[in-house]
């Protein structure tokens, strides 16, 4: 498994029974109290997405899982948060921003205090529909005496006499 330099940002919940850290999008996702809260991504060097250039690396930072209705209040309180270019429904703190360590501490305080603006409920996975198998019905044919005699006579091997 990939080693993450900045995994320390999840230390505040690692001992909690309702915290789950698992792989997602090539990074580490934090699920806490049943909600997806943050995603740590450490992929250096990608500054563009769909032909548009950004002044920060697109997949090298922390994504904060939140609903769009909370963006305005969170960005007012934390003006360093930007909409992620690939997942615009989430906010993003790139590692290239000056003082990002102190800034991520502010965000983890929100998670720790169960701020309702941070976190999204995971969607239920759609069940795969199984194909219905068609069963061929075997129709028994009526066997007449005439047909039965032919079948029986064919199945008997002629006996060679000497």
**Domain range spanning residue 81?**
7-112
Q: Determine, yes or no, domain membership for 140.
A: no
**How many domains does the chain contain in total?**
1
Q: Where are the alpha helices (DSSP H) in the chain?
A: 71-77, 100-112, 145-155
In angstroms, what CA-CA distances link 64 with 44, 129, 158?
19, 33, 86
Q: What is the dihedral of CA 125, 91, 30, 35, to 10 degrees?
A: -50
Query: Which CATH number fits the domain that encloses residue 57?
Result: 3.90.1150
Q: Determine, yes or no, domain membership for 17.
A: yes
What pLDDT does 154 receive?
57
Among 51, 77, 81, smallest CA distance to 64 is for 81
Output phi, psi for 70, to 5 deg: -100, -5
Q: Where are the alpha helices (DSSP H) in 52-142?
A: 71-77, 100-112
pLDDT in tens, the chain (162 residues): 689 999 999 999 988 999 999 999 889 999 999 999 999 999 998 898 889 898 889 999 999 999 999 999 999 999 999 999 999 999 999 999 999 999 999 999 999 999 999 999 998 776 666 666 655 555 555 555 555 555 555 555 555 665
Q: Determine, yes or no, domain membership for 148.
A: no
Q: Determine, yes or no, domain membership for 142.
A: no
CB 120 within 8 A of CB 67: yes
Q: Measure the N-to-C terminal CA separation of the chain; round to a whole number of Å.
A: 81
Q: Determine, yes or no, domain membership for 27.
A: yes
């Amino acid at each position: 498994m990939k080693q993450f330099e900045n995994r320390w940002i999840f230390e505040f919940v690692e001992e909690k029974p309702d915290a789950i850290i698992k792989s997602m999008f090539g990074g580490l996702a934090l699920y806490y109290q049943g909600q997806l809260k943050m995603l740590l991504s450490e992929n250096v060097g990608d500054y563009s997405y769909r032909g548009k250039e950004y002044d920060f690396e697109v997949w090298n930072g922390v994504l904060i899982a939140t609903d769009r209705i909370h963006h305005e209040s969170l960005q007012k309180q934390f003006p360093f948060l930007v909409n992620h270019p690939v997942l615009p429904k989430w906010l993003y703190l790139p590692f290239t921003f000056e003082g990002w360590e102190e800034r991520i501490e502010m965000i983890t305080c929100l998670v720790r205090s169960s701020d309702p603006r941070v976190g999204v409920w995971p969607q239920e996975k759609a069940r795969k529909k199984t194909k219905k198998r068609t069963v061929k019905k075997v129709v028994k044919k009526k066997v007449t005496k005439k047909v039965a005699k032919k079948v029986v006579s064919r199945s008997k091997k002629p006996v060679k006499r000497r």
